[in-house]
Structure 1
């Protein structure tokens, strides 16, 4: 089977790449071991974060570092046995998080973020997936006035520097927006330019269905069989293409390593669980309890509770202690009922130490392309990443300068 391009990875990034290549007239195959949307893209908070111009930095103040070191923080936990392997990555992450470096990174990162909502809405319209999309933003709530004021300062900075709007909600306004909330938060921010979805995996599946309806092929195969230039084994037989795009999320590093690219890719693990809502309670939009270290959001399956970051090796067994710690706190603020899922879901966010994805050509192999390392913003940046890759492959003018995201920057 011969194609113009083969895309390895059926998550939001890979499916978006396949769609955009197809829109530019290429014959495309999408290859993964599972159906689209059933790995990392299944379990996120469903946010399309137009406000997310500042990528999540490594803390540099002593108080926060000490709190994380105790390994009892609500938002960050770690596996002690994994720290020796993670130490080089964490040091580089800390290095890039210095205020001046982080500001430079944000200037490049924001060129992708600014297109996230418009690019998603275009695909949603074409895929007929409007029922999964919520507009109107999401809420970040704060238990203390001090934390609220720090967040307000950052929101004002994002508004001034990048034109990102927000609304400040006092206690009464927050209660009016979410009447079922029980806790007395000091206040909140609503990021009004963001969107969210009620089924991230379902959204990816809808995009994949559009891809197939337009003549694309979704094939089951093993990305580890990729060989120049370019051939991969699938259950339907070998696939050959002029271009191959690695969009395998947390598995991308090992595929790239097979071609001699030792990219500094690590993972931030995270968990979710769904709950029924008690007594007819309704949650209108995603809500992050910033100091509680968790987010609750209305999904098709129920109220989804998502955790913060667990630092560990990608394939280590589940240790959902964060979820166990967050659940009682979540029940304090919202009337959660019984658990819907049989066990917690675990996913791995692929991260680079400079907090920016790798998007662009492989430096030493013609026709090989990288699209991974989106960390917390895989869903947010999937469609614009797909557009950027397709524009580079076809020689079109890119929607954003791809230079900051090149693979040889490390």
Structure 2
């Protein structure tokens, strides 16, 4: 079976690449071991973060680092053995999180972020999935004055530098928007330009069905069989294509390493659980508890509680200690009822030490392209990544300058 391009990975990024290439007349095969949207793209807070111009940095304050070192913080946990193995990555991540370097990174990163909502809305309209997007924004809420003041200053800075809209919420306004939240909260910050998704898996599935409606084909297959040529084995036989795109998220470095690339990719694992609301309680917006680092998001299945980051090996057994730690706190924030899932879901975020994705051609092979490393913003950046790499592959003028995201920076 011959195609113009084989896209490896059917998460949000891979599906969006496949759609944009198919729309441009390429015959595309999309390959994954699972159905589209059933790995990392399945479990997230459902945010399309227009405000996310600054990617998530490594904390540099001594007090915060000490709290993390004790491994009791609700927002970050780690496996001791993984810390030693990821130490070179963490060192570079910490260096790139210096305020001056972080600000320089944001100038490039913001060029992608500014298109995230518009590209999702356009693709969702084409795929008949607009009802899954909620143009209501999301919010951070605060329990202490110190955190409130710090986060408000951040919002003001983003507004000055990148024209990011925000609404500072006092306690009364917060209760007006979310009457079932904890009445002792001091207030919040709402980011109205961002969208949220009621079912991330359903959204990726809708985009994949649109891809097939355009004439593309999905195959269940093994990306580990990718070989120069470009060939990959699937349940339906061997596929060959003149180009290949690696969009395997946290598994991307396995495929690229076999081809001779040594890329500094690490993972931040995360967990989620769904809950029924108590009684008639309702949550209208996704809400981040700024002091404890978890998100409550209204989803089709129920209220989804998503945790922060766990530094661990890719395939290490689940250790949902963070979920157990924040669930009692979340129950004070919003009246959560019974758990709706049999066990916590775990996903893996693919991260680079400079917090930016790798998007563009490979250095050593003709016809090989990379699109991974989106960390916390895979859902946010899927459609704009798909458009950008499709434009590069077809020789079009690109919507943004792709050079900051080149693999050559490593």
TM-score band by shorter chain is: over 0.9
Aligned to 1:181: 181
1:197 paired with 2:197, answer yes
| CA RMSD after TM alignment | 0.7
Deviations 1:59-103 (A, max 9, x none): 111111011111000100111121110111100100111111101
1:302-336 superposed Cα distances (whole Å, 9 cap, x missing partner): 00000001111110000000000111011111111
1:136 is displaced (CA, Å) by 1.6
* Aligned-partner Cα distance in 2 for 1:45–1:96: 25
State the match for 1:397 in structure 2.
Answer: 397
Match of 2:312 in 1: 312
The answer as to whether partners of 1:145 and 1:187 remain within 8 angstroms in 2 is no
CA distance in 1, matches of 2:356, 2:125: 28
Partner of 2:229: 229
Deviation sequence 1:3-57 (CA, Å, 0-9, x none): 1111000100000000000111111010000000000000010000000000111
Measured in 2, the distance between the counterparts of 1:92 and 1:279 equals: 48
Q: For residues 205-216 of structure 1, what are the structure 2 equivalents within 5 Å? A: 205-216=205-216
Q: Which residue is 1:84 aligned to?
A: 84
SS across alignment from 1:280: coil
Question: Which residue of the partner structure matches residue 27 of structure 2?
Answer: 27
CA distance in 1, matches of 2:285, 2:134: 8
Distance in 2 between the 1:235 and 1:129 partners? 29
Once the two structures are superposed, residues 115-152 of structure 1 have per-residue CA deviations (whole angstroms, 9 ceiling, x without a partner) of 00000000110111122110120011111111111111
CA contact (8 A) 2:175 2:183 kept: no
**TM-score, length of structure 1 as denominator length:** 0.99
Q: Distance in 2 between matches of 1:265 and 1:395?
A: 28
In structure 1, how many angstroms separate the alpha carbons of the residues matched to 2:184 and 2:238? Answer: 59
Q: CA deviation at 1:182?
A: 2.1
- Mapped partners of 1:345, 1:232: distance in 2: 29
CA distance in 1, matches of 2:289, 2:316: 27
Q: Does the 8 Å contact 1:45/1:295 carry over to 2?
A: yes
What is the deviation of 1:290?
Answer: 0.8
Q: Equivalences for 1:292-371 in 2 at 5 Å?
A: 292-371=292-371
Corresponding position of 2:56: 56
State whether residues 167 and 191 of structure 1, in contact with CA within 8 Å, keep that contact through their aligned partners in structure 2.
Answer: yes
Determine the C-alpha separation between the residues in 2 that align with 1:183 and 1:387. 44
| Superposed displacement of residue 183, structure 1 | 4.2
Consecutive unaligned residues in structure 1, runs of 5 or more: none
Q: Distance in 1 between matches of 2:184 and 2:26?
A: 54
Q: Secondary structure at the match of 2:168?
A: strand
Runs of 4+, deviation exceeding 6 Å:
none
CA distance in 1 between counterparts of 2:12 and 2:37 reads: 7
User: Does residue 1:69 correspond to 2:69, yes or no?
Assistant: yes
Determine the C-alpha separation between the residues in 1 that align with 2:396 and 2:274. 43
Q: d(CA) in 2 for partners of 1:266 and 1:89?
A: 7
Q: Aligned equivalents of 1:163 and 1:333: distance in 2?
A: 30
Measure, in 2, the Cα distance between the counterparts of 1:85 and 1:292.
27
Q: 2:17 maps to which residue?
A: 17
5+ long unaligned stretches in structure 2 = none
Q: CA deviation at 1:265?
A: 0.1
SS of alignment partner, residue 4 of structure 1: strand
Secondary structure at the aligned position of 1:404 is classed as: helix
Q: Spell out, residue by residue over 1:201-222, the C-alpha distance to the aligned partner (whole angstroms, 9 max, x if none).
A: 1100000000011111000000
Distance 1:136 1:236, change over 3 A: same
Aligned partners of 1:99, 1:298: CA distance in 2, in Å? 33
- 1:224-251 per-position Cα deviation (integer Å, ceiling 9, x unaligned): 1111121111111111111100000000
